[in-house]
């Protein structure tokens, strides 16, 4: 067994993901797009994100391939853009559902959560479960162990 202190974390994918997603307004922007709000002004009004912050977050999500810009034009107006999820962006849906589930369990107002995610076909609430590759449902979070993966590097002890 390798001592975790001997592992190099410079290529940590959690840290890399947080470089893209790890700021409150970025997750709020994604929430809006997942909810169907795709236009800059609609997002700005609903979220009260300062204009420049919203522009920066949208640009970053486009730059990282999470969102794509789609042109549209209202009659008599200049061309503008909507923001739509890419496949890479859709892969974040379980992350948002997990965050909402955690928030709904621990942070909701007494009257209940402000949003629930449901299955479009049957209307049942959606929740996330942890499964191993062999198909076992893991109910006890302590039964999940991190271990070195194929990209693991040992830390250079001379640095």
Owning domain of residue 21 = 4-91+129-143
Note whether residue 47 is domain-resident.
Answer: yes
pLDDT in the model for residue 158: 72
pLDDT in the model for residue 83: 98
Note whether residue 117 is domain-resident.
Answer: no
Cα separation, 33 vs 96, whole angstroms: 11
Sequential pLDDT tens for the chain (159 residues): 778 888 888 888 989 999 999 899 999 999 999 999 999 999 999 999 999 999 999 999 999 999 999 999 999 999 999 999 999 999 999 999 999 999 999 999 999 999 899 999 999 999 999 999 999 999 999 999 988 888 888 888 776
Note whether residue 122 is domain-resident.
Answer: no
Report the predicted TM-score, pTM, of the whole model to 2 decimal places: 0.85
**What total number of domains does the chain contain?**
1
Note whether residue 24 is domain-resident.
Answer: yes
Note whether residue 158 is domain-resident.
Answer: no
Asked whether 155 and 6 are in contact (CB, 8 A), the reply is yes
Cα separation, 29 vs 53, whole angstroms: 10
pLDDT in the model for residue 2: 79
Residue 90 DSSP one-character state? H
The CATH number linked to 68 is 1.10.10.10
- DSSP for 7-46? B--TT-HHHHHHHHH-SHHHHHHHHHHHHT--BHHHHHHH
């Amino acid at each position: 067994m390798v001592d975790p202190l001997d592992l190099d974390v410079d290529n940590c994918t959690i840290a890399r993901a947080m470089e893209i997603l790890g700021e409150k307004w970025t997750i709020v922007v994604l929430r809006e797009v997942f909810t169907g709000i795709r236009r800059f002004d609609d997002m700005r009004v609903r979220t009260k994100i300062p204009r420049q912050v919203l522009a920066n977050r949208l640009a970053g999500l486009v730059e990282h391939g999470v969102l794509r810009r789609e042109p549209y034009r209202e009659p008599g107006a200049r061309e503008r853009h909507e923001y739509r999820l890419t496949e890479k962006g859709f892969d974040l849906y379980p992350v948002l559902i997990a965050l909402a589930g955690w928030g709904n369990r621990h942070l909701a107002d007494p009257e209940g959560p402000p949003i629930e995610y449901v299955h479009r076909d049957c209307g049942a609430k959606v929740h996330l479960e942890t499964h191993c590759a062999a198909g076992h449902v893991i109910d006890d979070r302590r039964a999940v162990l991190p271990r070195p993966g194929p990209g693991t590097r040992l830390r250079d002890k001379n640095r």
